[in-house]
A = this chain, B = another copy of it.
Amino acid sequence: MPAFPDNLKPATDGASILHKERLGSHLPVQELARHLFDRTDFLSRQERILKIVGNEPLFRKDRQLNLSRPERYHLGLARAKLLRRLSVKHSWTRDDDEMAVYLVDDVSPYMLQMSMFVTTVREQGDEAQRAYWLPKIEKWEIIGAYAQTELGHGSNVRGLELQARWDPESKGFVLNSPTLTASKWWNGSMGRTANHAIVVAQLYLPELSTSDGSTQYKSYGPHPFMVQIRDMKTHQPLEGIVVGDIGPKYGYAPMDNGYMLFNNHHIPHSAMLARYNKVDQATGRYQKAGNPAVVYGTLTAIRANIVMHARLVLARAVTVAVRYTAVRHQFRDRDGDDKGPELPVLDYPTVQIRILPLLASAFALHYTGEAMHDLYRRTRAKVESGDFTKLAELHSTSSGLKSLCTEIAADGIETCRRALGGHGFGGGSGLIQLNNDYVSKPTVEGDNWMITQQTASYLIKQMQAAATGKGAAKSSLEEACREHLLHRHAFAPLDVLHSDTDVVEAFRRRALDMAYKAYRARVVEKKAWNSLLVQLHKLSRAFSQSLLVGSFYDALACNDNMSPGLREIMWRLFRLFALSTMDAAAREFSTARAVADHDLDLLPGRVQALMTEIRPHAVNLVDAWSIPDFLLDSALGRYDGRVYEDLFNRAHRLNPLNEVTFNPDYSTAEIVMGRKGEGIDKIVAKL
């Protein structure tokens, strides 16, 4: 009897189906994979690290979805430690470390150490502070967190309530939380793991009141301080500090996001990171020592990474969706033979329209992320040499792109998951944790609706400069705005159905049209900023879309060494991305006189035709993204197509709930057969 299911085969042989899909497409998978990843050694690194992490029992995920949140933190810390030890053992570089975290696919309680913690010390610490702290951090003698956001303030950093008052007697600072909302909140690694933190607090310095001669404190705004928060031996919070984990969240189970309150806690003068601003220890006076605008550069680099991460996340969801919907067969053709075979659900346009534009989007995000990194590197060099002119453009551009790209990825995961039908709701999808973790991204590092103001504001300024400026334009964008103003009354519709350059130009024209209208509303008609927020959000979105389309186009147009077979399919993906994006906002293209209504009417048909052309290559296209099964952890998306065997195996052999027999009779409180109420009492005690 136990052998009975072992001998059954699925009616649908996923393995041979995917084999045929791969043979049926001429798309050169290896060439595309190299094209995507060769610049950064990504693939060889992935292979090398996978061999190491793939063999560790601690990184197994077979039954991980059965763990509780406290268990997930325990496990997360154990994994973070093991990764650290492996890193030392194998002399991993920073890129290797990041690859290992990516493959293990578990948020690490050590995450802040080599990101915001070390970066802030490096960028904002003065020479002495860097010399003192950086070796300790790099040797992991201390574990750090970054404590900026508070219970009452996230986006509005200037509104932070935690106070750092200068104490002339001790020549140091006193950290104090005047209210409950001043509690630090959300700060990763701080809840249970870190023993140090960069703490951002309002700096208050004493001043002699001119009126009555008493001492009053004046605020100088938020500043960063390096603070020890726990005892290095006992790991207990230091006196005057209340710190803990904020509890379960939507995702990020292994991360100990924390809260922290200070009760007149003294820290030394050296705690304040003093590269750009400092307090003179002798006089207690505030001194500016440089331009802190450089920190926006860091934020921008983080945002370029966010876009590059988004494209891998999206590629992962699309990989699962494409492979499973190729294997999954459901319904015969309604117009076909009554005895005909069931169709792969990926053949249905209603499935294609959800998955294939997202497949194309992954490439759009890829080329845009690459372009952002390029721009960052170029701008960064200028900033280091004291030239800040490009910074505003880069920062504002990155805001809109962060907003749009994380939204595409977050919504894309869920769209893919729903396209999987019933099995998409099951643990075998491999998309549950991905979804739960990733939906944080539209909020962190700048709320997606809020930060689009930066992009819009920048565009309005450019349009204003173009409208009023004389002499040479100060930027290529201002130049484009001038052109737009010059010709906007005489635009002829572009031929987006036949010309790829016209597609790029149409996106640009629509964005500039919206920029012009926003400029009119704000600058000429002087409307209240807040009354324009929805319009500004749409403007940022349109501009960011034009950047995505432009980057995609440039990457293909400038590439000389792609094989013709690959090139042809890549251009189709470009068109699918651009035209499906255009179709979703068609009216804006019409209003901007960028595309004729007649052409817009034809977009849905054109999109469907493109999907039909791309469909035969879908499996090979996702293969090129090279996401290993170890990372996918998906019965539905596994490379070999053995979907049903894996789903059944997870249910029948790996599910701990099936090891217990329950008592279903409602009249007794006994839950597990023969064990009275003992088990449930323990669970109720946890409520």
Contact = CB atoms under 8 A, between A and B. Distances in A.
A468 interface: no
A268 interface: no
Contacts of A78: 669, 671, 680, 683-684
Contacts of A648: 151, 180, 183, 259
Contacts of A80: 666
Given A67-B683, A245-B657, A11 B530 contact: no
Among all A-B residue pairs, the 8 with the closest Cβ atoms: A65-B248, A68-B68, A84-B666, A244-B658, A8-B180, A246-B651, A247-B655, A60-B687
A152 B324 CA distance: 12
Nearest to A444: B422
A239 B152 CA distance: 61
6 contacts: A8-B177, A81-B666, A247-B650, A250-B435, A354-B449, A418-B448
A342 interface: yes
A529 B656 contact: no
Copies of this protein in the assembly total: 2
A142 to B, nearest CB: 9
A285 interface: no
A334 interface: yes
Nearest to A608: B534
Contacts of A16: none
Contacts of A382: none
Interface string A620-659: 0000000000000000000000001101101110111110
Between A58, A77, A534, the greatest number of chain B beta carbons within 10 A of the residue's beta carbon is seen for A534
A335 interface: yes
Interface string A8-44: 1111100000000000000000000000000000000
Interface stretch (A166-174, A187-195, A297-305, A474-482): A187-195
A215 to B, nearest CB: 22
A242 interface: yes
A513 interface: no
Contact of A425 (B63, B84, B440, B528): B440
Contacts of A427: 246-249
B69 A65 contact: yes
A207 interface: no
A331 B153 CA distance: 9
Contacts of A154: 330, 421-422
Interface stretch (A155-163, A306-314, A366-374, A544-552): A155-163
A535 interface: yes
B153 A10 contact: no
Contacts of A351: 449
